[in-house]
Structure 1
Amino acid sequence: MDIIEFLKAVLFGIVEGVTEWLPISSTGHMIILDELIKLDVPAEFLSMFLVVIQLGAILAVVLLYWERLFPFSLKEKPFVKIDIFQMWLKIVVSCLPAAVVGILFEEQLDAWFYNYQTVAVMLILFGVAFLWIENRNDGKPAGVNSVGEITWQTAFWVGMFQLIAAVFPGTSRSGATILGGIMLGLSRTVAAEYTFFLAVPVMFGASLLKIVKFGFAFSVPELMILLVGMTVAFVTSLVVIRFLMGYIRRHDFKVFGWYRIVLGIVVLAFFILFS
């Protein structure tokens, strides 16, 4: 594999590992990165790569939260952890809106919205929304302080916020669900953790669909690029998840709101001036 393409895969993995968990849009950053640094691969592989690379980031969540995600006990009774099993059922409820729309309209949505203009606008809009929600909630206690307290109704509405991110790149799946969770009364920590857990079936499902659609006829360079990107995304995610959980215990999300607004303006200005 060309060393330049190897380094590009490393860069894509770093960007994915950082942006998947921060509420700043991993898809948006990957679109922008692809505009600036083109991987020398077929378009069909690139479309699959930009989704499947997220599996590396998801495996970091599985590793860090295994005891809170695995609903079965192999050594002690009860063998089924009811609270974790119920959490997974609520996650299914949260995933249904985006899953249905994604399966039915994926190609149309990509054709309509998978561009820098949509990314920039959604970066700015949700950046403003973060600032507004954080100002509105300043000093108010959260109503939900553990994942186990999330109701079925709340799970559904978090899923509706996730749907917005599924339709409009640049929204940020984590950004939409965290913002929605906070609006619905979840604490910042609970909103972030539930977002992490939601990502597991969402990204596994999306990756499986992309791989099946692409097929398994990888060339050796393509397989190397994919594995490098996933591995770097995994290692980066381990660091970023720990950072984010430590950060939000002491701070709000306003800094990410301002970052989104500034980045959205820069993206619009850059492509208007140089396209």
Structure 2
Amino acid sequence: MDIALWIKAAVMGVVEGLTEFLPISSTGHLILTASLLDFTGDKIKVFEIAIQTGAMLAVIWEYRVKLGRTVAGLGHDAVAQRFAFNVLIAFLPAVVFGLAFNAAIKEHLFHPLPVAMAFIVGALVILWVEKRHHRRYGELDLAGKRHARVETVDDMNALDALKVGLVQCLALIPGTSRSGATIIGAMVFGFSRKAATEFSFYLGIPTLMGAGAYSVYKYRSLLSVADLPLFAIGTVFAFFSALLCIRWLIRYVSTHDFVPFAWYRIVFGAVVILTAWGGWVEWRA
């Protein structure tokens, strides 16, 4: 029993849960955290993907009523059918592009410096989109509310879902942020922040649970029964930290924008680049 290894797994789980749904890149944070903890290797790369399941289980738990109602209404409820169809449409591009390019991306981009650059580029995109969003939807109506074209996830159509699914593919580049790509992309397409954030949650369920299952299956030769406690600890800590993050984020987006996250990304990316350039931290993939 290696307690130090279990503590590292718990830390990674917390990092995954706290960053998965924020537009700051959970993958980027996991790569950098693993480097600092000297928690690296092929098996750990599988671990990083597998523990995303814990964060997705937090979404299922938090939205169990909506998801249960959707499943129950698939046979007769048009709203439930449209919602499920939209999630499926948005999920498919990630499957196609992931299978086509994931191996090459892992070989060339899963390293701290490319991640840091993606942090900064992503931040600039967020700042631009938020400025655009404020200009377009910033005026209040007589009731004191802002109105986007898609106010709730039930207002979406199939084309909306496809466009969000395509921008989610940008998250294959580590440091971009899956939630950031889907939320900010959806806002460009006319979603409210709340609708964009909630659809990002829902879309993450098949996307990340599928990626986790595929990764474990593909690299099963690297794993053994002895690895189960390590993976379980990471998954459990990811679940509880993600649950806290989801509840906080939904309250946050009702009255705030994502500009602070953009500045955080710039500072974080700059710190990684400067420490690597100065030789103060030996970042490793």
Whether TM-score is above 0.5 comes out as yes
Residue identity matched to 2:54: G
Q: CA deviation at 1:225?
A: 0.7
After the TM superposition, which residues 54-65 of structure 1 pair with which residues of structure 2 at under 5 Å, given as runs? 54-65=52-63
Q: Is the counterpart of residue 109 in structure 1 residue 105 in structure 2?
A: yes
Q: CA deviation at 1:219?
A: 3.6
* C-alpha distance in 2 between matches for 1:78 and 1:179: 29
* C-alpha distance in 2 between matches for 1:80 and 1:66: 19
Q: CA deviation at 1:47?
A: 1.8
Residues 68-102 of structure 1, C-alpha deviation per residue, up to 9 Å, x if partnerless?
223233xxx88543322221211121122221111
1:215 is matched with 220
* C-alpha distance in 2 between matches for 1:111 and 1:271: 20
* C-alpha distance in 2 between matches for 1:259 and 1:208: 31
Which of 185, 190, 212 is residue 190 of structure 2 equivalent to? 185
Counterpart contact for 1:72–1:80, Cα < 8 Å: no
After the TM superposition, which residues 37-56 of structure 1 pair with which residues of structure 2 at under 5 Å, given as runs? 37-39=37-39, 43-56=41-54
Q: CA deviation at 1:60?
A: 0.3
* C-alpha distance in 1 between matches for 2:34 and 2:177: 17
Residue identity matched to 1:36: L
1:8 is matched with 8
Q: CA deviation at 1:121?
A: 1.2
1:203 is matched with 208
Q: CA RMSD in A?
A: 1.7
Residue identity matched to 2:10: V
Counterpart contact for 1:31–1:116, Cα < 8 Å: yes
Residue identity matched to 1:149: D
Q: Is the counterpart of residue 81 in structure 1 residue 77 in structure 2?
A: yes
Residue identity matched to 2:227: E
Residue identity matched to 1:116: P
Structure 1 stretches of at least 4 aligned residues deviating more than 4 Å after TM superposition = 77-80
Q: Which moved more, 1:99-108 or 1:168-177?
A: 99-108
Residue identity matched to 2:234: G
After the TM superposition, which residues 44-193 of structure 1 pair with which residues of structure 2 at under 5 Å, given as runs? 44-70=42-68, 71-73=70-72, 80-138=76-134, 139-140=138-139, 141-166=147-172, 168-193=173-198
Say how many residue pairs are matched: 269
Q: Secondary structure at the match of 2:71?
A: coil
Q: Percent identity?
A: 36
Q: Secondary structure at the match of 1:23?
A: coil
* C-alpha distance in 1 between matches for 2:81 and 2:220: 33
TM-score, normalised via structure 2 length:
0.90
Q: CA deviation at 1:221?
A: 4.1
Consecutive unaligned residues of structure 2, counting only runs of 5 or more, are: 140-146
2:229 is matched with 224
Counterpart contact for 2:74–2:80, Cα < 8 Å: no
Residue identity matched to 1:72: V
Q: Which moved more, 1:219-228 or 1:154-163?
A: 219-228
* C-alpha distance in 1 between matches for 2:273 and 2:20: 22
Residues 153-186 of structure 1, C-alpha deviation per residue, up to 9 Å, x if partnerless?
11111111101112x1100000000000111110
Consecutive unaligned residues of structure 1, counting only runs of 5 or more, are: none
